[in-house]
Homo-oligomer: A and B are copies of this chain.
Amino acid sequence: MCQLLGMNCNTPTDIGFSFAGFSKRGGLTDHHTDGFGIGFFEGRGLRLFLDDKPSAQSPVAELVRNYHIKSENVIAHIRKASQGINSLENTHPFQREMWGGYWLFAHNGQLRPSFAPDFNGKAYRPVGCTDSEQAFCYLLNRLRAQFPDRPCPNTLFDALAELCAEIRQHGMFNFILSDGRVMYAHASTLLYYITRQPPFGQAHLIDEDMAIDFAKVTTPNDRVTVITTLPLTDNETWQQFACDELMMFDHGKLVRRHRPENPVYLTQEEGLEIARKAGVSV
């Protein structure tokens, strides 16, 4: 299983602390050694760093750790290949332009061969050979067919909820998606989030003996949500997504959620076991 990291904030924020812990999982504290990627929205622009080296050893990850890029929307991914060889074109997040804006998508899971969209003549087509990029292109094609121009985030959320219900019939579909304004996240199995806002406290990483006092690096107006496959800190309370739940975050805040009537929450062990059984390396 790969791991996902997302950040959505109300002010440009340095993801350095979370990325420090997260990137250790690529080759040091965990074995997601098939490359990594991280994309930062900056204004309308998008900066995407990809590397086929493990994030713990990658010079690109080192640049990201030291450069302190500030962004309101960030998506990162560390990869343990389950489909598709370890090459750059199969490295998440994937990027496309739709409606005159950039979109970024990262996936954790595995879709069965029953998910086989026809991309013939379609606007968005996969470049690599992962189920993840197929799912991303399929989502974009469907959304564009439905909306010739960008609808408001709420309308898009409803359309996305229907598409998620369709796609997750084919397998594990944990993903984070952003257009640089809001962030959408969907869980089939394991996904957590935390919203940090005043009063800010201390946080301590699980993957590295590193702590931060957020009160010292924030202003009283800051609000930051971090979304991740498995919690990054051991002294904070992370909220769990229910299975099949879709959320939308805007300016660091959870603003919409689409949750099953009888929500099911997996333990980490159960979630990892499902991934193992689905043939997703964990």
Task: List residues of chain A with CB under 8 Å of any chain B CB.
Answer: 42-52, 59-60, 63, 66-67, 87-91, 95-97, 99-102, 119, 121, 123-128, 148
Contact = CB atoms under 8 A, between A and B. Distances in A.
A100 B88 contact: no
A101 B127 contact: yes
Contacts of A125: 97, 99-100
For this chain, the copies found in one complex come to 2
Contacts of A52: 42
B45 A89 contact: yes
Nearest to A91: B45
A123 B123 contact: yes
Given A59-B63, A67-B59, A87 B119 contact: no
A53 to B, nearest CB: 10
Given A67-B59, A95-B95, A100-B119, A127 B89 contact: no
A252 to B, nearest CB: 21
Contacts of A96: 97
Nearest to A89: B45
A88 B128 contact: no
A51 B69 CA distance: 11
A45 B36 CA distance: 13
Given A60-B63, A63-B60, A44 B127 contact: yes
A128 B44 contact: yes
A148 B101 CA distance: 23
11 contacts: A42-B88, A44-B87, A44-B88, A45-B50, A45-B87, A45-B88, A45-B128, A59-B63, A95-B95, A97-B125, A123-B123
